[in-house]
Chains A and B, each alone.
Chain A
Amino acid sequence: MLGTYTLSYGYYDAFYKKAQKVRTLIINDFKRVFKEVDFIIGTPSPITAIKLGDFEKYPFFGELMDKFNEPGAMAGIPGINLPVGLDRNGLPIGMQLMANYFRESDLLNASYQFEKETDFMGVIKKGVKNLNLET
C-alpha cells in the first residue's frame, strides 16, 4: 500500500524520488567510512530472541527488528551475522560485520578467524543446553 501511495500521481517527487536521493546519501556515507576502515562492527538486531507469539505486542515489529540491517541493504554492501555470546537469560547475542562492495572473501576470512579465536561452537552448545532445547 505504501508503495502504491508513494508512487501515486503528485507524490512521486516528494516520496519515491526523495527516497532515492536519501539512499545515495547512505551509499556515500559508507563510501566515506570505508576509506578509513575495512570493517564495521555492529549489532544485527536491537534485542535478543523473544518468546514465540510475543511479536504481536509490538506494532511495526518487523521494521524495528530490521533497523540495523537496512543501511547495509540500502547501500548494497555485503554483511555477515555471527553469534558472539549469551545474555544473562541465556539468550543469544549476535554481531554483524559489514565490509565494502566485493569484499565478501574478507568478511568470510574475518568470520573464520573470529570463530577460531573464540569458543564459537561452545557458546552455541551452552545456549542450547541452558534453554533445555536438547531433546
Chain B
Amino acid sequence: MKTYIPVIGLEIHVELKTKSKMFCQCSADYFGAKPNMHVCPVCMGMPGALPVPNKTAILWMQMIGRALGCKLKKNSKFDRKHYSYPDLPKGYQISQYDEPFAVKGKVLITSPYLKGGAKEFHITRVHMEEDTAKLIHEGTNTLVDFNRSSVPLVEIVTEPDFSDADDVKTFLEELQVIVRYLGVSDADMEKGSMRLEPNISVRVAESSKLKDESNNSTFTLPKYKVEVKNINSFKFVKAAIEYEVKRQIEILEKGELPKQETRGYDDIKGGTYSQRSKEEAQDYRYFPEPDIPPFEFSDEYISRIEKSLPTLPSTRLAYFISSYGLKEIDAFILTRDKKLADYFEMVLSNEKMKNAGQAVANIIINKKIATTFSVSEFITQFLELTKPIMTDTVLLDATVKAVIHANEKAVTEYTNGKVSVIMFLVGQVMKGMKGKADPSTARKALEEKIKAKS
C-alpha cells in the first residue's frame, strides 16, 4: 500500500494599501471606485510614460520580508516580465526576476490549531511588482478597469514545506495577522488584497516508517507541479487543495504522471479545471527595467527597518502566556488583532489589575464588557463586575440552615466523604439567596454548619 504525501509550495500576493500606485501618483484605493477614475498615462501604459518607484511601497515590502525572517538585499533591481493580455497595458509587468528585495526567510508559527503546537515554514523570496487591470466579464463582452493597474503588489514565495491543507490555512492566517500588524495591507482574501496560488504535487513516501512530514528537505521533489488559481477565500483553500491532491493521486495510481499545468478552482462546480498547459507556457523574456536605476540600500537603512518592526504575533502570543498566565487559546485569540492585544496590555498595565490576566481575557472573549470603551472605563466596569458580593449574613445563616435541613441525603454523602456534593449545596444556597451571596462565603458557612452538626 503506497503512502502518498502532498508537496505544496505557496505563491501569495499581498496588495499594499499605499496612498498612491507603484509607479505613478494615482490613488491606489480602487475597491468600489467608479471604473477608470484613478488612471494616468503611466498606469495606462501610454507611449513615453515613465515609471517612478513608490518609496513607501518598497519600504513596506521590505518590512514584510523582514517580518518573515528574510535577508534584505543591499542591491536589487526591477525587471520586465513580458506577456500579452488585455489587463497588462504595457505588454510587460514591472516585477523582479533574479535580484528580489528579500530572500531566504523562515516563520515559526505557534498555534493551538497546529498539530504539534509549533512549526517552521521557509520562505524562498519576497519581491515587489505591480498589479494588473481588472477584467469584468459581462455576457460576451469583457470590460477593462485600470483603477487596479499598477497598484503595489508584494509576492511571497514559500519552499514546498506544506504537506497538509490545514497547515496551508494556518500559515495563511498567520501571514494575514502579521501583515495586518505591520499596517501595510488589509490582506483580505474576499476583497482580493491577499491571493493564494498553491503549487501542488504528490510524492510517494520513501520509507514505510511514518516520518516527520515537516522535514521535507530530505525527499526528492516530484517531476511535476500543478499551479492552482482562483481561490478566493479561506474556506476554499482546504477544498481546492484536497480536490487537487485526490485528483493527482488517482492519476499516480494509474501509473501516470499528472500534467504540469495551471488549473483554476471552481467553487460552484467544486473542483479544479485546466487553464494553461506546459506546451503553451510563456517565455517572459526577462531583462532589467532600463527606466528604473538599480537600488543600493545603506546598512543603516536596512537596520532601521529591523528596529521599526512591531512585536510580531508569535512573540506576543508567547509573552501573553508566560507573563499574563493566559491559556494558549485565549492568548491566541487576543493576539490575532494588534489593537486588541495593545488594549489588553494597557488594561493590564493598570496597578489595580495585577494578576487579572485570565479574568480580563475571559471577559473580553466572552464579550461581557465591550472593548470599544476607553481603557479606564473598561477597568471601572471590570472592577464593578468582579467585586466580591457583600453577603447578608443573617439571611445567609437562615438559608444555610434551610438548605441543610432540606437536603439531608446530600449532607450525609458529604460527611461520608463525597466532598464534591458541597457544590450542589452551594448552588442551593445561592438559589435561596437569589444570587446575592459570595459563593466562597456561602461554601464556608455550609462547611462550618455541617461540621458543627456532626
Residues of A within 8 A of B (CB): 4, 7-9, 12, 16
What residues of A have a CB within 8 angstroms of the CB of B283 in the complex? Answer: 8-9
Tell whether B278 is near chain A: CB-to-CB under 8 Å. Answer: no
Q: A12 to chain B: which residues have CB within 8 Å?
A: 285, 287
> Is B82 interfacial (CB-CB < 8 Å)?
yes
5 closest pairs, A vs B, by CB? A7-B285, A9-B283, A7-B287, A8-B283, A16-B287
Output the nearest chain B residue to A3 by Cβ-Cβ distance. Answer: B285
In the complex, how many angstroms separate the beta carbon of B299 from the nearest chain A beta carbon? 28
Not counting A7-B285, A12-B287, a sample of 8 additional A-B residue pairs whose C-beta atoms are within 8 angstroms of each other reads: A4-B82, A4-B285, A7-B82, A7-B287, A8-B283, A9-B283, A9-B285, A16-B287
- Shortest Cβ distance from residue B331 to the other chain A in the assembled complex, whole angstroms: 51
Contacting residues of chain B (80-137) with chain A, CB-CB under 8 angstroms: 82
CB distance from A2 to the nearest CB of B (A): 12
With the chains together, A16 CA to B287 CA distance in Å? 9
Shortest C-beta distance, A44 to chain B (Å), equals 24
B263 to chain A, nearest CB (A): 24
CB distance from A54 to the nearest CB of B (A): 28
Q: What is the bound-complex CA distance between A12 and B288, given in angstroms?
A: 12
**Which partner residue on chain A sits nearest B288 by CB separation?**
A20
8 intermolecular pairs with C-beta atoms under 8 Å apart: A4-B82, A4-B285, A7-B82, A7-B286, A8-B285, A9-B285, A12-B287, A16-B287
For the complex formed, measure the closest distance between the CB of A86 and the CB atoms of chain B, giving whole angstroms: 35
The smallest C-beta distance from A10 to any residue of chain B, in angstroms, reads 9
Give complex CA distance A2, B249 in Å. 45
When chains A and B are docked, how far (Å) is the Cα of A4 from the Cα of B283? 10
B190 to chain A, nearest CB (A): 38
A9 to B287, CA, bound (A): 12
Q: List B residues 248-300 near A (Cβ within 8 Å).
A: 283, 285-287
B residues in contact with A7, CB < 8 Å: 82, 285-287
CB distance from A131 to the nearest CB of B (A): 34
- A80 nearest CB across to chain B (Å): 23
Alpha-carbon distance A7/B80, docked complex (angstroms) = 11
How far, in angstroms, from A7 to B285 measured CA to CA in the complex?
Answer: 5
A16: chain B residues at CB < 8 Å are 287
B286 contacts which chain A residues (CB < 8 A)?
7
State the CA gap A16–B283 with chains docked (Å): 15
A1 to chain B: closest CB distance in Å?
Answer: 12
* Chain B residue at smallest Cβ distance from A17: B287
Nearest chain A CB to B412 CB, angstrom units = 90
Kindly list chain A residues whose C-beta atoms are within 8 Å of the C-beta of B82. Answer: 4, 7
> Which of B82, B283, B285, B286 gathers the greatest number of chain A CB atoms within 10 Å?
B285
Interface mask (B3-36 → A, CB under 8 Å = 1, otherwise 0)? 0000000000000000000000000000000000
| Closest residue on chain A to residue B80 by CB atoms | A7
Contacts of A9 in B (CB 8 A): 283, 285
Query: What's the Cα separation between A12 and B287 when bound, in Å?
Result: 9
- Tell me which residues from 134 to 162 in chain B have a Cβ below 8 Å from any Cβ of chain A: none
Closest to A10 in B: B283
A5 closest partner in B (C-beta): B285
Nearest neighbor of B283 in chain A, beta-carbon distance: A9
Q: Contacts of B287 on A, CB cut-off 8 Å?
A: 7, 12, 16
A18 to chain B, nearest CB (A): 13
Which residues of the other chain, A, contact B285 by a CB distance below 8 angstroms? 4, 7-9, 12
Closest partner residue, chain A, to B282 (CB atom): A9
Shortest CB-to-CB span from A109 to chain B, Å, is 29
